[in-house]
Chains A and B, each alone.
Chain A
């Protein structure tokens, strides 16, 4: 089992450009989570899918951020018109989705917006 896979590991964009981050959850896991981590804010919840359906996106900035899960094997987080304050490590996690199960995290994508 390869664990949760995230690509790319590092991404540098210019201000105003678009960034798309990819996540491949562990096979058989029905729940996928996206988080953002910064020194100042810590680990922030962004959005959550279960069985590919968006369940909760209460942590997503309403503008410029969107997430999709077109199939059970991958999810994407898209940031349009990136701003310097979007610079962070974006983490994807998956879990079995059975209730009290733990999450397994990917290695993260470090996004730097110049």
Chain B
């Protein structure tokens, strides 16, 4: 069974608008970490932002922010004022404490196209 699920295969948005990408995860662990990564057209995978399960505040880094809804096991990525260079594939990932934080579980990714 998929531990991390991204249901949106692809999204297109107009430049300078806000986009939200969905991600749901499965875990029995009380302590875990959630991550979002971006893969550019060149193939480079870059870490964007992370959320610690024990923190209630949503993480924010630059124009990336998270919508962490723990009861729903959901961690959405919000990109505000999108730019052309935000066009990429975005991956959600989870790391659980009960595995000793050994494994990263990745979603299948959501392809974002920002239209000028």
Contacts and interface: CB of A to CB of B under 8 A. Distances in A.
Contact of B106 (A42, A56, A100, A102): A42
A105 B101 contact: no
Interface in B97-111: 97, 101-106, 108-109
B102 A100 contact: no
| Secondary structure call for the B interface | strand
B3 to A, nearest CB: 11
Interface string A82-114: 000000010101000001101111011000000
A103 B47 contact: yes
Contact of A42 (B46, B52, B104, B109): B109
Give the size range of A's interface with the partner: 10 to 19
Given A43-B91, A43-B109, A48 B102 contact: yes
Interface in B61-116: 91, 95, 97, 101-106, 108-109
Interface of A: 33, 42-43, 45, 48, 50, 55-56, 89, 91, 93, 99-100, 102-105, 107-108
